[in-house]
Chains A and B, each alone.
Chain A
């Protein structure tokens, strides 16, 4: 067993703050501008962080607290910010997230917005509370998604007409890559079922070069669709941690619709790996009655065949995985399925469900060989990893320092990818995403073996 150092300070955090997740989710809604209620710095830093990953313009407004605001409250600033955004951007929605600052001074944002009638002209004002000292970016993301669904599907709409003939699926994918979202769209397109994917930043945060300046990029889940979510047949929500926390009473977008409108919500982990993707397609078949298209059967066939071709380069290798708990869980499931032991599964989050979700997804044999750490930073991770001697590490760019000092390859996945291009185009999910991850991992291992070999064989 590895020893455990406990430091009071966080050293190189494996997380960012809550409003960042909310801002990202708001970027997945059509014609929406995110607005952080707090100081200028928070917005600018988050923009910089997101831009470095997406490599697209990302505007996040700030209500720009000053010392007076901190004393007298931020209502006036918030209103002014909303006014100015409406003028400059003409959005359909402003997604407002609180910050540590507005939370601490106790601004009652819902009340302020209520006074404004929850609209600024025709712009809908949607609020989510995201104090950073109570969670991480992934919490902010989920909370924002729930807040959007809540706002546009109020209890009062309960008695609405529900068409029986047409199947529509609400899909809450969580924080996936642009390519992942595009892949999901492709799948639903192929089975000819309409899915309302919330949020969908795959176009907005990766559009073509412009002819004219776009104050708000095109793309995102349209509000008119979000308003219809209450009429859908079923909801599908990714994230095993999210699933476990819903069981314990947390409200998610899916559970809200379930409770309010009786739309059954199917929860499952992010579909990475053959088994998880099988489950995904099985669920889709069950929900829609549509068979999995041959295209995907073929992808699966090729994937398993490649597992066989590559088995001896990966079996019993050791990996360190880190990132958001949900993402790590699903990646661990995939690695376990191909015989890689995720010797350390770490996250900066602390949902309290991390162990459970890993236990659920991994075989007993593998589970007993792993260490699970929530609320962990990169410095502690590195100290642990030294003892564990992984063959590679897998996660976002922020693990590069650790990879470098351990002298093992870093397989870049998830968010953020700050030191490479194409972070938005990494496909993680489905048979096809798994295929890419599988190839990338094996090639990383082969590369490092080849590099460190005296001989430098030109065949595997």
Chain B
């Protein structure tokens, strides 16, 4: 095999359990020329706010940033679909020279008039950060005229990483909530944070809570509405998923409104049950809730277990690689894959923290490669070395897996099928099963060679 070398500066971002003994290097700017799989600050903000369907999302900058993020996510809405539009100030050379404030103001006024959104989010991109537009004051002015919240999102691409974008988006959400101040509590109520309704996941989860007797005040931001967000301070508990992206908001809400939060995940049977139980036990003075939860979990699990065991027979011993945005998702996936009898040979994330990687180390078995902010060459190197049968990642990882004759499951925001909750686990298992057991691998050169060996 031709050797793929790893850049020196990258060595500390790659860790092999049982072999290496150092704290994995992370939370750094990506290395120039290394072809990171990461996007930018703007991308982080866009992920979090994207599903708010009755808001106007306008991207202030040259056309690319807007063009590449047009309708790219599978976040569904039960009503308006303004979030699926791509609005851009499409700055031209003269705007870059003379400033884009006027253009932004005009664009905002026209679009708000045309689409009557409930709020407007103005995403700043790199150029805006450079030319120094006073986006803040344009927003204030437009807000005065239109009487809807018009909020700048400080998402200039180069000012940090995707994580800073999450934070900027959290600040926007918090601003919306804060406009209403402290409100009367809704009994037995929660906000669902960090759930984006990919393929309708929010709806499934809300249904669980409904059956448990829990009131969901708002979801940030799956199938989101501005009005719901502004009501968020009336919830008793914040249930935070995908903690990397929205913990900042949960913390702020705890400080300001005394709303405690718990971190959960809805991927896999274990984590979903755990999430629901923890919410139930938070409201333990109402013993009915716990009873209903037990019943719900029992029923849901019973419904999918036979199918899963069937699938497990084919998947046992197969090897999986995981490369996702946030490390938290990797935790759940490792558990879910174990459930299917699969072994994880590579686990990595774009934005994991030292803490995350410690947990990851604890969860993985000996020999597993742990990667921070990897690039295509590194991913390829290790999936070949470890001989993966399955790769779980996003659009940019897919061709790497496919070219090497490895099955693939899309677990990014761009996918169209729900993978959360119990039904989601079933969908996940089916998808993994379909790709791993496809007969086409028998025709692929790399597999052929292996078979001959």
Contacts and interface: CB of A to CB of B under 8 A. Distances in A.
Interface string B216-250: 00000000000000000000000000000000000
Interface in A105-136: 105, 131-134, 136
B267 to A, nearest CB: 23
Interface stretch (A76-84, A294-302, A388-396, A436-444): A76-84
Given A11-B86, A17-B64, A133-B93, A47 B31 contact: no
B86 A48 contact: no
Contacts of A213: 2, 4, 377, 380-381, 384, 403-404
Contact of A17 (B30, B63, B131, B157): B63
Interface stretch (A38-46, A235-243, A251-259): A38-46
Interface stretch (A177-185, A203-211, A306-314, A424-432): A203-211
Contacts, number: 231
Nearest to A86: B33
B33 A40 contact: no
A245 interface: no
Contacts of B445: 208-211
Given A51-B399, A66-B158, A133-B95, A16 B34 contact: no
A12 interface: yes
A12 B92 contact: no
A41 B65 contact: yes
A45 B107 CA distance: 24
Given A16-B63, A56-B403, A210-B403, A62 B85 contact: no
A66 B29 contact: yes
B62 interface: yes
Q: Size range of the interface on A? A: 35 or more
Given A40-B30, A210-B403, A17 B62 contact: yes
Q: Which of B96, B380, B403 has the most CB of A within 10 A?
A: B403
Contacts of B106: 8
B66 A13 contact: yes
A15 B85 contact: no
Interface residues of B, number: 78
Contacts of A317: none
Interface in A46-66: 46-49, 51-52, 55-66
A332 interface: no
Contacts of A58: 399
A246 interface: no
B356 to A, nearest CB: 20
A57 B375 CA distance: 12
A215 interface: yes
B158 A67 contact: yes
A132 B63 contact: yes
A84 B32 CA distance: 7
B313 interface: no
Nearest to B401: A57
Contact of A9 (B7, B58, B377, B444): B58
A9 B90 contact: yes
B43 interface: yes
B67 A40 contact: no
A331 interface: no
A341 interface: no
B396 A44 contact: yes
A10 interface: yes
B141 interface: no
A15 B63 CA distance: 8
Given A11-B85, A16-B63, A66-B29, A57 B399 contact: yes
Contacts of B80: none
A286 to B, nearest CB: 40
B278 to A, nearest CB: 35
18 contacts: A10-B63, A10-B87, A11-B111, A16-B63, A42-B126, A45-B65, A45-B69, A51-B398, A60-B35, A61-B34, A78-B32, A80-B31, A88-B34, A209-B405, A211-B449, A212-B2, A215-B4, A401-B71
